[in-house]
Chains A and B, each alone.
Chain A
Amino acid sequence: MNGLRQGLAVAMAIARKDAISELRGRQAAGSTLFFAALVLLLFGFALGPDSRRLAEAAPGLLWLAIVFGGLLTMARLHQLEADDGAFEQLALYPVDRRAIYAGKALAGAAVMLVLGGLLLPIVAILYAIPIGTAWLPLLIAVALGAIGFAAIGTAYAGLTVRMRAREVMLPLLMLPVVAPLLLAAVKATAASLSGDPLGELGSWLQLLVAFDVIMLVVGAGTYGFLLED
């Protein structure tokens, strides 16, 4: 019980530290949001002014923007550790490695949730989609997707943070693994936006929960090894 409480304190301390760094380094977080919004705008230009086409593509484009922004977020949260040799110090603290992973993943999920939450109205405005009463299932889909993405993104960012070509290696290694989660998140978002006429939203959300659990278990199990030299 003591170990659990200590692990929880460690995870919260890491998440709080990362959140403070994100809030105070507003330029980086703001740039990520701006970049993701720009992705949405450019895809809008590429698809043309056909509003039906835009509405059909909106769930996929929203998740592409979240994924691009998420990759930057995951890399940045680990760059914090690499800047002054803090990653080695983090590995040397006498704490459970799973608690370190939980803290980093929690911070990543929180930042991605805020990013997704801010991108939703931008999608609605840019692609003229009435969100109406769909905001709750949309937020749930974004939250579950963000948790899964952060769960696996934290592990991969831990793997690539010591690499020289980490900016390239993180998406290269992570995107193939995250594809099934992305598919479920897009389907859940599309079902939410269309009012779920086929009653499939629940199934996609359940699949997202299953992906989240798997990725959290795999991430927590492997992160400790990544901290080792």
Chain B
Amino acid sequence: MPQTTIYVAPRLAGTLGTIPPAVATVELARLFGRSAALAGVSLTVEIGRTVALLGPNGAGKTTLLRILATAIRPSYGTLAIDGIDALREPELVRGRAVYLSHATAHYDDLTAEENLRFAATMFGWGEREGGEVSREALATVGLDGHAGQRVCTFSAGMRKRLALARVLVARPSLLLLDEPHAALDGDGMALVDRLIGLWKEAGVTVMVASHQAERVSSMADATVRLEGGLLAEVSGAGASAGPVGARQRPRVAVARMDR
């Protein structure tokens, strides 16, 4: 088994000695046209927790993760990542939250190693260190034998492994994984499980959206279930349904716009 180094962003000091939660959303909503993909989600996740994000298709899992990653802005509501207001300072959040999406976001004409070295530069690694962490990440995901191969020749599973290697190259404090097991074979799924375990040990907050409820729930500290863009259930340790006193009325107003 190759050596795996988990790089983690340094913690932010909380004001007056308090540690801010990794994720704090208040009545987060997102409309696409007249349809509300997310209809008012207030959720708090403590630092270092692994959270399984469950729910049927169209429940709002991907929309929630994309908003947390600052890929899209919410239509309503507020969110803070590690105590940073993500709407005001998204660039600070991007240095801490890393998102693994459905799309693997590779460049087909570049080799696997070139893709990773590019990502390493974008994540702030220097030339030499970037090469080292890229090679190490490739070995961890089992692609070291394909480092010089162009990505256009990769299967869907290999592309997913390379996307996981990109996450390893980043130094997240919050990891947002959207269906990380999709397109992977048995070994690949076990690799994802092992990596989630390592991130958990390293104190990284991990939110995993998945249809493999049993698989991710067994690894998670808490389970969050979304239905119709709303929180249906929050259970376990380290996650709670919003900050104390969060108003719930606006989510009803937003949900009505869907009709």
Chain A residues in contact with chain B, CB under 8 A? Answer: 6, 9-10, 13-14, 17, 20-21, 24-25, 80, 83-86, 88-95, 228-229
Name which residue of chain A comes closest to B95, CB basis: A94
A6 to B150, CA, bound (A): 27
Q: How far is the CB of B153 from chain A (nearest CB, A)?
A: 12
User: Is B110 close to A, CB under 8 A?
Assistant: yes
Q: How far is the CB of B160 from chain A (nearest CB, A)?
A: 12
A91: contacting residue among B71, B95, B98, B127, CB under 8 A: B71
B101-109, B200-208, B230-238: which lies at the A interface? B101-109
Is there contact, CB below 8 Å, between A93 and B122? yes
Query: Which of A6, A21, A85 has the most CB atoms of chain B within a 10 A radius of its CB?
Result: A85
A17 with B124, Cβ < 8 A, contacts A88-B101, A93-B94 known: no
User: Is B211 close to A, CB under 8 A?
Assistant: no
A80 to B118, CA, bound (A): 14
Name which residue of chain B comes closest to A87, CB basis: B105
Is there contact, CB below 8 Å, between A84 and B105? yes
Contact-size category for B:
20 to 34
The residues of A that contact B127 with a CB separation of less than 8 Å are 9
A14 to B72, CA, bound (A): 23
User: Is B69 close to A, CB under 8 A?
Assistant: yes
A9 with B108, Cβ < 8 A, contacts A85-B101, A92-B71, A228-B73 known: no
Is there contact, CB below 8 Å, between B73 and A6? no
A88 with B94, Cβ < 8 A, contacts A13-B122, A17-B110, A229-B72 known: no
Is there contact, CB below 8 Å, between A92 and B107? no
A40 to B72, CA, bound (A): 44
A21 with B99, Cβ < 8 A, contacts A92-B71, A94-B124, A228-B73 known: no
A91 to B103, CA, bound (A): 14
Is there contact, CB below 8 Å, between A17 and B70? no
Is there contact, CB below 8 Å, between B103 and A24? no
A89 to B97, CA, bound (A): 12
List the 10 closest pairs (A to B, CB-CB), nearest first: A85-B103, A89-B105, A94-B95, A93-B122, A229-B72, A13-B121, A94-B94, A24-B109, A21-B109, A86-B105
User: Is B214 close to A, CB under 8 A?
Assistant: no
Is there contact, CB below 8 Å, between B71 and A84? no
Is there contact, CB below 8 Å, between B73 and A88? no
B108: contacting residue among A83, A90, A92, A229, CB under 8 A: A83
A17 to B151, CA, bound (A): 13
Name which residue of chain B comes closest to A224, CB basis: B91
The residues of B that contact A228 with a CB separation of less than 8 Å are 73
Is there contact, CB below 8 Å, between B107 and A17? yes
A94 to B99, CA, bound (A): 12
**What does the 1/0 interface line of B72-107 toward A look like (CB < 8 Å)?**
110000000000000000010011001101111111
A199 to B24, CA, bound (A): 66
Q: How far is the CB of A16 from chain B (nearest CB, A)?
A: 8
Q: How far is the CB of B28 from chain A (nearest CB, A)?
A: 15
Is there contact, CB below 8 Å, between B106 and A86? yes
Is there contact, CB below 8 Å, between B121 and A80? no
A139 to B114, CA, bound (A): 32
Query: Which of A14, A89, A93, A94 has the most CB atoms of chain B within a 10 A radius of its CB?
Result: A94
A13 to B99, CA, bound (A): 21
B71: contacting residue among A9, A13, A21, A229, CB under 8 A: A229
A89 to B122, CA, bound (A): 10
The residues of B that contact A80 with a CB separation of less than 8 Å are 107, 109
A80 to B101, CA, bound (A): 17
A183 to B139, CA, bound (A): 54
The residues of A that contact B104 with a CB separation of less than 8 Å are 84-85
